[in-house]
Amino acid sequence: MDFTIPPDLKALGARVDAFIRDEVIPYETDPRWTAHGPTDELKREMNDKAKAAGLLGIHGPKEYGGAGLDHFGKAIVLEAAGYSMLGPPAIHCHAPDEGNIHMLEQIATPAQKEKYLRPLASAAVRSCFVMTEPEGGAGADPTMLKTRAVPDGNGYRISGRKWLITGADGAAFAIIMARTGDGPGDATMFLCDLPNPAFKIARTLDTMDSSFMGGHAVIDLEDLHVSGDDILGEVGKGYQYAQVRLAPARLTHCMRWLGAARRAHDIATDYARKRMAFGKRIGDHEGVSFMLADNEMDMHTARLTIWHCAWALDNGAKGNTESSMAKVIASEAVYRVVDRSLQILGGMGMTRDTTVERIFRDIRGFRIYDGPSEVHRWSLGRRIVGKPEKGTG
């Protein structure tokens, strides 16, 4: 494994870093960054600046205006973008759109790519991925899927309730997962133009985080009709396609949040160099300097883990095991980094005089979404132990 960053990729990462610092960070006090994420107006304004800088949708496929970055390339660019939580929506590499772009590129028909992927990749529209359900339905265990799609002519009618659906409010289309059979793996993905009267936003949830476009919604699907042309991929292969999306999407989450953790660490480091206590800078006290050292080690470990997983995906691995490990290692590490950074800031860390408080609230959710750490550990442990042999109990 050669983790040497090619000069052109290093230069691209530097361009993104400069854009985030010069153009995006000033928006962090803009009132259009609401409790349910930045408004579409704010996103469009930042997108225009990213387009002028040649960075809008830079992670996407070349045929749709991007640079066609591989996973290692994304690791460099998305970490730089994540230095501000507004960075990913600014250059249009945020969730869920980034994951949807990747999946549509892999499995959509040519007609679906023209209708959905092209405008999505160019940031002309937003999308949502509709899988998670309330208690009793699909969550960390997607095989508990309850939403059902019933055949109707050459199409289907979909009914069910979904929740924690990121970006549904304001999305131009949805990718919906629904059960199309009675077996544990019988699920299918469908495309649906929005708005649609049968796709009802019951409410937008009040959550700890505030960096995702459109917030997180509860959705009622009430006899929603989709045609045969709206089937994404093949009938009955929804869970397989979910892995096509989720393994890389877990990794890109890690990339973006590593950038946010680095931002928190930099703010804490600057404070530790200036703030005086007990006759010297607080950074000269081992209690603080050790926390900064631990931050550096956690970020280094997370970065190497991300790069290794990116290398595996770029070299043909399916990536489920690698992305599970990366997700746990990175999510736990960056949480520790931001927690320590807030602790170093003391009372200042509790305020919004810096962005660390907001990063702390947002990054806490990363240990839960895209599979809680405990679920990934359970899955990894099951692979390690293997299935019991006959006669062993």
Task: Please give the chain's pLDDT, 393 residues, in tens.
Answer: 889 999 999 999 999 999 999 999 999 999 999 999 999 999 999 999 999 999 999 999 999 999 999 999 999 999 999 999 999 999 999 999 999 999 999 999 999 999 999 999 999 999 999 999 999 999 888 889 999 999 999 999 999 999 999 999 999 999 999 999 988 789 999 999 999 999 999 999 999 999 999 999 999 999 999 999 999 999 999 999 988 888 899 999 999 999 999 999 999 999 999 999 999 999 999 999 999 999 999 999 999 999 999 999 999 887 788 999 999 999 999 999 999 999 999 999 999 999 999 999 999 999 998 889 999 999 999 989 986 665 544
Q: At what angle do helices 238-274 and 286-314 cross, to 10 degrees?
A: 150
**Largest Cα span, the chain:** 79
Residue type, 312: A
Report the candidate in 217, 264, 253 with the shortest Cα–Cα distance to residue 37.
217
Determine the residue type at 320: N
- Cα separation, 372 vs 335, in Å, equals 13
Residue 388: per-residue pLDDT: 65
CA distances from 363 to 130, 243, 357 (A): 22, 23, 10
Q: Quote the pTM value.
A: 0.95
- Tell the CATH superfamily of the 239-385 domain: Butyryl-CoA Dehydrogenase, subunit A, domain 3 (1.20.140.10)
Nearest to 247 by CA among 171, 326, 173: 326
Strands 173-179 and 187-193, sheet pairing: antiparallel
* pLDDT score of 184: 77
How much is the pLDDT for 319? 74
212, 256 Cβ separation under 8 angstroms: no
Architecture of domain 7-94 in this structure: Orthogonal Bundle (1.10)
Q: Is 2.40.110.10 the CATH classification of the domain at 127-236?
A: yes
3-state secondary structure of 279: coil
Using CA atoms, how far apart are residues 89 and 49, in angstroms rounded to an integer?
12
**pLDDT score for 387:** 65
What are 120's two structure tokens? 């999505």
At residue 347, the pLDDT reads 97
What is the pLDDT, as a whole number, of residue 2? Answer: 85
Q: Where are the domains of the chain?
A: 7-94, 127-236, 239-385
Structure-token pair, residue 228: 């045969």
For the chain, helix (H) and strand (E) counts, in that order, are 12, 12
| 3-state SS record for 179-217 | ECCCCCCCEEEEEEECCCCCEEEEEEECCCCCCCCCCEE
pLDDT for the residue numbered 391: 53
